[in-house]
C-alpha cells in the first residue's frame, strides 16, 4: 500500500552534530600514531562505522598493514573512550534546529519513528538530548552484518517497526547513508549541500529548512 507509515532518522549530523567530537577523538589518536588527519578526511568518515573509520585513517597514513586486528580493536577502543568523555557535555541545547518540532509533528500524525545510526553510542546520545521517548525503535548496530552504505540498517528499522520500506522516509547527512536509504527502497531526505546528494529525493541545506508539511507533500507527489 502506498502511504507514509514511518520516518527513520540518522543521528550524527541530523539530530545533533557530533562530527566535531569524532574529529577531536580521532585526531588525538592519529597524532599519537604519527599519522596526519584532517577535517577533510573526517568528512569522509560520516556515517562510517568505528572500525571502518580507523581503517580509512590508517590507510590514508600508509599504516594500514602495521597493526593486527587485536591492536586495531585496542586503538578503536581508545578513540571511543576519548569520544565518550567528549560527549558527556551533550545536552538538549545541542539538538539541531527544527528537529524537535519535526519529531513532534511526526508523532502527532501517528506515524512510527526509528533511529538508524551507525553509532554504538546512539542510545546514550539520544538520552543526553532527552529525545529517546520519541523513538519506537533504535536499531542495535551490534546485530548488523554490514554498515552503511549497505541498506541493512534501514531495512532492519522497517522490519522492527513492521512497516514496508516503500512507505518510509529516511533522513541522512552522509552520502553513504543516502545510498543505504535508496538501496532499501525508501524515500531519501538529505541534509547538506545539494551537489553531494544526486540520489536523494529531497535535499535541505540545513535541518532548519525541514518542514513536516513540505516533506509529506513531496513524498505523496513523488
Cite the active site residues.
10, 12
CB of 57 to ligand B16, least distance (A): 11
Among 9, 10, 111, 169, binds Mg ion (CB under 5 A): 10
Residue burial 166-181, b: 16+ Cβ < 10 Å; e: rest: ebbbbbbbbbbbbbbb
DSSP string of 102-171, one letter each residue: HHHHHHHTT-EEEE--S-TTHHHHHHHHT-GGG-SEE--GGG-SS-TTSTHHHHHHHHHHT--GGGEEEE
Among 9, 13, 121, 137, binds Mg ion (CB under 5 A): 13
Tell me the CA end-to-end span of the chain in Å, nearest whole number. 15
Interface residues with ligand B16 (CB under 6 A) are 10-13, 22, 45-50, 53, 80, 117-121, 174
CB of 18 to ligand B16, least distance (A): 7
Q: If contact means CB under 5 to 8 A according to the sort of partner, which of Mg ion, ligand B16, none does residue 120 touch? A: ligand B16
Q: Which is nearer to ligand B16, 119 or 167 (CB)?
A: 119
What are the residues whose beta carbons fall under 8 Å from the beta carbon of 182, sequence distance 6 or more? Answer: 188, 199, 200
How many angstroms separate the Cα of 126 from the Cα of each of 14, 32, 82, 121? 12, 30, 19, 9
Q: If contact means CB under 5 to 8 A according to the sort of partner, which of ligand B16, Mg ion, none does residue 22 touch? A: ligand B16
Q: If contact means CB under 5 to 8 A according to the sort of partner, which of Mg ion, ligand B16, none does residue 201 touch? A: none
Q: Which is nearer to ligand B16, 80 or 211 (CB)?
A: 80
Of residues 62-81, those binding Mg ion (CB under 5 A)? none
Strand 202-204 relative to strand 187-191: parallel, antiparallel, unpaired?
parallel
C-alpha cell at 174: 552522509
CB of 45 to ligand B16, least distance (A): 5
**Site residues (CB under 5 A) for Mg ion?**
10, 12-13, 47, 173-174
Amino acid at each position: 500500500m502506498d502511504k507514509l507509515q514511518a520516518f527513520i532518522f540518522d543521528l550524527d549530523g541530523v539530530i545533533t552534530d557530533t562530527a566535531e567530537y569524532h574529529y577531536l577523538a580521532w585526531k588525538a589518536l592519529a597524532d599519537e600514531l604519527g599519522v596526519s588527519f584532517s577535517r577533510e578526511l573526517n568528512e569522509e568518515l560520516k556515517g562510517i562505522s568505528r572500525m571502518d573509520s580507523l581503517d580509512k585513517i590508517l590507510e590514508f597514513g600508509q599504516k594500514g598493514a602495521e597493526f593486527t586486528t587485536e591492536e586495531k580493536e585496542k586503538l578503536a577502543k581508545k578513540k571511543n573512550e576519548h569520544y565518550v568523555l567528549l560527549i558527556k557535555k551533550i545536552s538538549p541545547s545541542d539538538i539541531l534546529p527544527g528537529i524537535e518540532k519535526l519529531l513532534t509533528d511526526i508523532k502527532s500524525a501517528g506515524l512510527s519513528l526509528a533511529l538508524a545510526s551507525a553509532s554504538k553510542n546512539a542510545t546514550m546520545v539520544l538520552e543526553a538530548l532527552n529525545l529517546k521517548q520519541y523513538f519506537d525503535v533504535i536499531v542495535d548496530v551490534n546485530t548488523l552484518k554490514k554498515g552503511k552504505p549497505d541498506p541493512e540498517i534501514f531495512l532492519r528499522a522497517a522490519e522492527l517497526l513492521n512497516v514496508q520500506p516503500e512507505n518510509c522516509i529516511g533522513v541522512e547527512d552522509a552520502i553513504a547513508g543516502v545510498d543505504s536509504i535508496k538501496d532499501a527502497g525508501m524515500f531519501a531526505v538529505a541534509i547538506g549541500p545539494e551537489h553531494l546528494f544526486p540520489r536523494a529525493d529531497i535535499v535541505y541545506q540545513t535541518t532548519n529548512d525541514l518542514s513536516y508539511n513540505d516533506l509529506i507533500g513531496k513524498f505523496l507527489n513523488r
